[in-house]
Chains A and B, each alone.
Chain A
Amino acid sequence: GQNIDQPTEMTATEGAIVQINCTYQTSGFNGLFWYQQHAGEAPTFLSYNVLDGLEEKGRFSSFLSRSKGYSYLLLKELQMKDSASYLCAVRDGDRGSTLGRLYFGRGTQLTVWP
């Protein structure tokens, strides 16, 4: 089966750095995604990793280690508006395949305090 684990909750203060971890065990791997979801809203895409290493996008970075089944999302210079749930999702299937579905974790609820 598919298993994606991430912490349920995290808290941090404005201006700080926070790292949200995600571990996964899936039958296939064709990419890992991070989504942000504010309360009552739909998820929005943050980042995508398919190769090992760090991908940086402004204040957000995402890291992947396929051999360890591990990823993290790094948020820098935290702002109040970053308070949201952060979803880790893994796409199964063969690398480069156009098929494959996403399996989502339960999300990590991040609260940023002033």
Chain B
Amino acid sequence: EADIYQTPRYLVIGTGKKITLECSQTMGHDKMYWYQQDPGMELHLIHYSYGVNSTEKGDLSSESTVSRIRTEHFPLTLESARPSHTSQYLCASSIQTSGEETQYFGPGTRLLVL
């Protein structure tokens, strides 16, 4: 069973606030990912990391930042929240074994920006 955690699970915040969404995994996975998903829509990759001190931009990265100082921790920061950021944010981690790599997802953070 995957051990990947996200906090908070739900967040309501006002426009212009800075917020950090936390993601931690205890599986020692090197790779971690942040996705944004609106209801009934596909997952969009925001940022990803292949290991400590490695971060890459995805498709929706321009309004957020990430850091990977420790293997187990991959926080996502929105410097100035806007109503368009209202969505579900999913964190995932993965490790490659025998050529197969599977991403395990956390429970998600539902964000509402007023």
Contact = CB atoms under 8 A, between A and B. Distances in A.
Interface of A: 4, 31, 33, 41-45, 48, 50, 85, 87, 89, 91, 96, 98-99, 101-102, 104-107, 109
A87 to B, nearest CB: 7
Contact of B102 (A4, A45, A85): A45
Contact of A107 (B42, B104, B105, B108): B42
8 contacts: A31-B101, A33-B102, A43-B90, A48-B102, A98-B96, A101-B58, A106-B40, A107-B40
B64 to A, nearest CB: 17
Interface residues of B, number: 21
If over half of B's interface residues share one DSSP class (helix, strand or loop), that class is named, otherwise mixed; here it is: strand
Contacts, number: 50
* Shortest Cβ-Cβ A-B pairs, 10 listed: A42-B105, A104-B43, A106-B42, A104-B42, A45-B102, A43-B105, A42-B108, A98-B96, A42-B107, A48-B100
